[in-house]
Structure 1
Amino acid sequence: MLRRTLLTTLAALPFAGTALAAQTTATGSSASNPVEVLPPEKPAPQWPIAKRYYPTEVNVRPELAVGSIIIVSDKFFLYHVIAPGKAMRYGVAVGKDELKFRGTAYVGRKVEWPSWKPTPEMVKRSPDHYAKYAENGMPGGPGNPLGARAMYLYQDGRDTAIRIHGTTEPSSIGHAVSNGCLRMVNDHVIELFQSVPVGTPVTVY
């Protein structure tokens, strides 16, 4: 009885192996690439913002300076010009109507996981919200309102107090809600940060 069971099991093995090979061909990558085993495709990132604010390469006016950053506040778009006539476009949040920054500046400083301290004007406008941070501020980290990266905008060697930075509130992208700074999704500001050197000119419309 034991010998008969063993023979039956051995007889079934080639068929099991064939089925396994067929399954590998159907579900793996051997049919299209007999050498490399490719990992399954990862789904595209899903951010809590409208898709028009996802990073997108777009055509722009060819006279725009390569390397410059241009922000169109009313459209909530930041453009980083990467080649003549080409730019990466990102969605941003901008300042409330009375606090919108407009003009020219340059990236005077770059910081990873920046600390944050409200300006005296911010404390005066909203003491209940900001007064507790007035002296010591808040250390950098995932809970910091400046997010993962910050690029500090300067004019004539002086800090304007305006930053292009990440945010803990990505759903604010596409809205006029900030105290004047320009917010980006953390993933997006990290990408921009890596591509932008200190000294990069910035124009905000």
Structure 2
Amino acid sequence: MTGWVKVGRCDRVRAIALAASSATCLMFCAQGQALAQATENLVNPTRSTSVEATPVAPAGNVAGETPIAPTGSNTGENPIAPAGNVVGETPVTPDKNAEANPNPSSTAQWPELPPLDAAAYLPDAKARVRLELRLGERRVYLYEDDKVTASYPVAIGKSSTPTPTGEYKVFQLIENPIWKNPWTGQVTAPGANSALGLRWIGFAQMSNGIIGFHGTPTVSSIGQAASNGCVRMHNEDVVALFSKVEMGTPVTVIR
């Protein structure tokens, strides 16, 4: 049997109250679920409740790995901090004064030092040495930096075997030379009594032999044109001259 059932007034009021209570419960349940979901997202932001397709890795990445974010893009990760700053810290502001004064804590002035006298600590430069043989004077002059510092009397070649004039350079330096007589072949032991004396300074290569300064035991010939072309000197003088010259020292012979 169907039809309406007559319900009393009290029963209708009770039914309306139950329905309102049920609606209120449903509303609170929905709000609670939304609040729980929001809390979960805050705690674990990487968890996703939606199903998405696997992203395709850009060129250079391995599929399945996290794609490499292009430079300057915002992927949700922490941005790259500017050089010299730490993420989360206040950016460093360049200090123009610091650039002008790299050590601002040092305000002391350096004392002014006196100039260094380099000449007092550096070795003396070697003087430029040259020889000038003046045949007319029968004398050889020693120049050091274009200043005459010594001169010695000499004997030069006689008229039949003259000492050649011109520009030459020292190419032989021999201590205690051994002399061999070109006519007899006799060899004389080195020493003060040898025909070449204690030193030999060769400077000119001629067709008939080498011309040079040398000592001599025949001191009476000094100041004369008496040799076979070489330049005779007192032994003590040629030793002193030998100590001043070196290979390549210029020799000028003038009349």
Which band: TM-score by shorter chain? Answer: 0.5 to 0.7
Report the alpha carbon displacement of residue 87 of structure 1 after superposing the two structures with TM: 3.5
1:40-59 alignment, distance < 5 Å: none
1:30-179 alignment, distance < 5 Å: 66-101=128-163, 102-119=165-182, 123=183, 131=184, 134=185, 137-155=187-205, 160-179=209-228
Structure 1 contact 153–160 (Cα < 8 Å) conserved: no
Report the alpha carbon displacement of residue 116 of structure 1 after superposing the two structures with TM: 1.0
Distance 1:176 1:154, change over 3 A: closer
1:147-203 CA-partner distances (Å, limit 9, x unpaired) = 0111112459x9951110011012211101011000111111100101111111111
Structure 1 contact 153–159 (Cα < 8 Å) conserved: no
* 1:200 equivalenced with 2:249 (yes/no): yes
1:112-146 CA-partner distances (Å, limit 9, x unpaired) = 11011244xxx3xxxxxxx2xx2x53231222110
For structure 1, which runs of at least 5 residues remain unmatched after alignment? 1-64, 124-130
Supply the RMSD in Å over aligned alpha carbons: 2.3
Structure 1 contact 149–193 (Cα < 8 Å) conserved: yes
1:80-120 CA-partner distances (Å, limit 9, x unpaired) = 1023333311110000012112222211111111011244x
* 1:189 equivalenced with 2:238 (yes/no): yes
1:42-77 CA-partner distances (Å, limit 9, x unpaired) = xxxxxxxxxxxxxxxxxxxxxxx9411110111101
Structure with greater helix share of residues: 1
For structure 2, which runs of at least 5 residues remain unmatched after alignment? 1-126
Which has more radius of gyration?
2
Alignment correspondent of 2:17: none
Cα distance in 2 between the residues matched to 1:194 and 1:159: 28
TM-score by length of 1: 0.56
Structure with greater strand share of residues: 1
Runs of 4+ in 1 over 4 A off after TM superposition: none
1:16-27 alignment, distance < 5 Å: none
Cα distance in 1 between the residues matched to 2:198 and 2:170: 17
Structure 2 contact 204–212 (Cα < 8 Å) conserved: no
The number of residue pairs the alignment matches comes to 127
Local SS of the residue matching 2:129: coil
Structure 1 contact 106–155 (Cα < 8 Å) conserved: no
Cα distance in 2 between the residues matched to 1:204 and 1:89: 14
Distance 1:159 1:68, change over 3 A: farther
